[in-house]
Amino acid sequence: MATDARIRELDARHEKLDHQITQEMKRPSADPLRITNLKKQKLKLKEEIESLRVRQ
């Protein structure tokens, strides 16, 4: 059960990062470095989520 809660938490953070990336890309003066950092964070979360799902 704790794993399910952790996955849900990570999924929520993943969605939040996705939203932040979308918003940053819409800005006229989007910061490519910020976008890259957000995408890296999102990828790390995805990897952690997948790792937890495999262990279930």
pLDDT of residue 56: 81
pLDDT of residue 26: 96
What backbone torsions phi and psi does residue 13 show, to the nearest 5 degrees?
-65, -40
What span, in angstroms and rounded, lies between the C-alpha atoms of 21 and 45? 14
pLDDT of residue 1: 63
Domain extent for 46 = 2-55
**pTM of the model as a whole:** 0.88
Q: Per-residue pLDDT tens for 1-10?
A: 699 999 999 9
Q: Per-residue pLDDT tens for 1-56?
A: 699 999 999 999 999 999 999 999 999 999 999 999 999 999 999 999 999 999 88
> What domain count does the chain have?
1
What span, in angstroms and rounded, lies between the C-alpha atoms of 17 and 13? 6
Name the amino acid, one letter, at 44.
Answer: K
DSSP state of 27: S
Q: Which alpha helices (DSSP H) does 1-56 contain, by range?
A: 2-26, 32-55
What span, in angstroms and rounded, lies between the C-alpha atoms of 32 and 22? 12
